[in-house]
Amino acid sequence: MSLAWVHLPERGSARALEAIHWVGRVIGRPAGRLLLYPIALYFLLTAQRPRRASRAFLRRALQREPSVLDLFRHFHCFAATILDRTFLLHGQVEKFDIRIHNGQLIGDQVRSGDGCILLGSHLGSFEALRVLGITERHFPLKVLMNVDHNPAITRFLNALNPEIAATIIPIRGPGTLIAVKEWLDQGYLIGTLGDRVVAEERATRCRFFGEEAGFPLGPFQVAAMVRCPVILAFALYRGGNRYDVHFERLADSIPAADRRRPDALGRWAQHYADRLEAHARSAPYNWFNFYDFWADNKDDTQASALARPLSATTSRQP
């Protein structure tokens, strides 16, 4: 996977989000959803790079050439989850039909008092997981987040629910790993996304939809350092007001010796990529990485990140 997502412009603004949120709050969610059709059509017509990326992904996921309607559904699904995010962050969970699959797994983990890595992705709505954990199930949850990407949108969404905003661990420098370990030691679930490589992050290449793509090793390295479980989490939008939340155990623990072995950590990353692919095939329009996920990246920073041995300093961000 390339680092192209880091350089994508902020399509939309906090002011636009405020307008959509106002319509939804004052006129109602159904009226807000009506706006999604022209919004999705606008981006389908004007966003050339995301449109190409959508077509490239859907071609793999659908195993056929995607139609214009497929592309529109993809953009519309993304817009729908963005609108729903404002309601979820405002605590209006009652507006949604959120169905939990294998919920006992996460319940047992919380009751054990031990921390774990809750590994998600840009497939579906991780926001639904955050709200479910904090406002409905009262999970001890902290979320790793790149707050410097799309900062205006991040500030607006955080303002909707300061309680949820307070759970964020910003991804910034050596202190990030220290903070993660401290919260894990206190029994917190550390939510993070495992499908995008950031600059200076260690990564590996995994088979994904039949081709190689880059995946970060950070989540698995942290899990090996503290000997904690890794649980996968996918919140898939199914249309209307329905979300299906799936929990799966990836590992009871990752051996500490694996922390410095790229090949061993790479196998854990491949397990994650396999499960991500399975869920992406079941809900292809939920794929919200609107850039070429498989592109060869010539950037020296990523090249060094992919090649950097894990015996280097462990004070990097996870």
pLDDT number for residue 175: 78
Strand partners, 287: 123
- In order of 121, 159, 312, the CA distances from 251 in angstroms are 17, 35, 24
pLDDT number for residue 309: 36
Helix (H) or strand (E) holding 18: helix 14-26
Question: Is residue 317, in this structure, part of any structural domain at all?
Answer: no
pLDDT number for residue 25: 73
pLDDT number for residue 1: 42
- The CATH code of the domain that includes 66 is 3.40.1130
Report how many domains make up the chain: 1
First-to-last C-alpha distance (Å) of the chain: 17
Question: Is residue 294, in this structure, part of any structural domain at all?
Answer: no
Are 161 and 155 contacting, i.e. CB atoms less than 8 angstroms apart?
no
pLDDT number for residue 267: 94
Question: Is residue 219, in this structure, part of any structural domain at all?
Answer: yes
- φ, ψ for residue 251 (rounded to 5)? -155, 135
Query: Which residue type occupies 133?
Result: G
Are 53 and 290 contacting, i.e. CB atoms less than 8 angstroms apart?
yes
pLDDT number for residue 7: 42
Q: Which residues of 234-248 are buried (b: 16+ CB within 10 A; e: fewer)?
A: bbbbeeebebbbbbb
* ∠ CA 233-288-95, rounded to 5°: 65
Question: Is residue 271, in this structure, part of any structural domain at all?
Answer: yes
pLDDT number for residue 238: 96
* Helix, strand, coil percentages for the chain (3-state, nearest 5): 55, 20, 30
Along the chain (318 residues), what's the average pLDDT of each consecutive run of 10 residues?
Answer: 44 57 75 87 91 96 97 94 84 88 92 93 88 72 74 66 77 78 91 84 92 93 90 96 95 84 90 98 96 65 39 32
Measured over the CA atoms of residue 259, residue 264, residue 265 and residue 271, the dihedral's sign is negative
Question: Is residue 208, in this structure, part of any structural domain at all?
Answer: yes
The C-alpha atoms of residue 21 and residue 275 are separated, in whole angstroms, by: 33
Question: Is residue 23, in this structure, part of any structural domain at all?
Answer: yes
Question: Is residue 143, in this structure, part of any structural domain at all?
Answer: yes
Q: Domain range for residue 213?
A: 6-288
The beta strands (E) that lie in 188-301 are given as: 189-193, 203-208, 211-216, 230-237, 242-251
pLDDT number for residue 149: 59
Question: Is residue 216, in this structure, part of any structural domain at all?
Answer: yes
Q: How many residues does the chain have?
A: 318
pLDDT number for residue 144: 84
